[in-house]
Structure 1
Amino acid sequence: MAITVNIYYSGKNGNARKFAQEMVATGTVSSIRAEDGNIRYEYFYPMDDPETVLLIDSWKDQHSIDVHHASPMMSQITMLREKYDLHMRVERYLSDEAGIPAVDKAFIKE
């Protein structure tokens, strides 16, 4: 069962976006995406909140997340969070193994 974690990073003076940009520029995002068990690691900017960045971070299972959290990369991420004085709000979701129900598919244009 896949696990998706939404992390909302909030700061001041554009720091959340600067954090995400530095994560990409330093290659940290690419390294995380290459980790075993990573399914998705993407940043998004809410249209109505310029001081927040949403990270959608999906993993194959809890073990993959635990390995990621134990990696040396986490100290770099923590350092950048502190550098930009970010606060976090976290949501965690488990995948629906059955997928999208047929009644919902009627509303999806692929």
Structure 2
Amino acid sequence: MSLLIHIRYMGENDNAKKFAKDMIDKKIVDKIRKQKGNLQYDYYLPLEEDGSILLIDRWENQEALDTHHKSSMMEDIIELREKYDLRMIVERFESIEDNLDDIKYIRK
């Protein structure tokens, strides 16, 4: 079962975009993508809303996500979030590939 995390970062002006650019420029994103169990770590800009950015973050399992949360990179992320004074909305989704009965209403 993989975990999908959506984190919507919101701030004044272009602060959310500057945050993501710093994450990329400081190679924090590269380090996260190389962590064992990371399947995706990508930023997206909403077309209809200024001042926010969406992170789509996917992990193999809870253990991989927990390891990430305990890593030193989290301190770097928190520091940048504070630097840019960002608010967050976090959503978590779990895949249902282990229980195929749950997908009978979803078209493939």
Q: TM-score, normalised by structure 2?
A: 0.91
> In 2, Cα distance between the equivalents of 1:89 and 1:21?
19
Per the alignment, in what secondary structure is the counterpart of residue 41 of structure 2? Answer: strand
For residues 10-59 of structure 1, the C-alpha deviation after alignment (integer angstroms, 9 at most, x for no partner) is 00010000000110111000000000000000000000112110000000
Q: TM-score, normalised by structure 1?
A: 0.90
Q: Percent identity?
A: 45
Could you list the runs of 4 or more consecutive aligned residues of structure 1 that deviate by over 4 angstroms after TM superposition?
A: 99-103
Per the alignment, in what secondary structure is the counterpart of residue 41 of structure 1? Answer: strand
Q: 1:91 to 1:103 in 2, by over 3 A?
A: closer
> In 2, Cα distance between the equivalents of 1:103 and 1:89?
26
Unaligned residue ranges in structure 2 (runs of 5+): none
Tell me whether 1:53 sits opposite 2:53 in the alignment: yes
> In 1, Cα distance between the equivalents of 2:57 and 2:78?
16
RMSD, aligned CA: 1.6
Q: 1:103 to 1:20 in 2, by over 3 A?
A: closer
For residues 37-84 of structure 1, the C-alpha deviation after alignment (integer angstroms, 9 at most, x for no partner) is 000000000001121100000000011011000001100000000000
Q: How many residues align?
A: 105
Residue 74 of structure 2 corresponds to 74
Superposed, which structure 2 residues align to 1:27-66 within 5 Å?
A: 27-66=27-66
Residue 4 of structure 2 corresponds to 4
Give, in angstroms, the shift of residue 2 of structure 1.
0.1
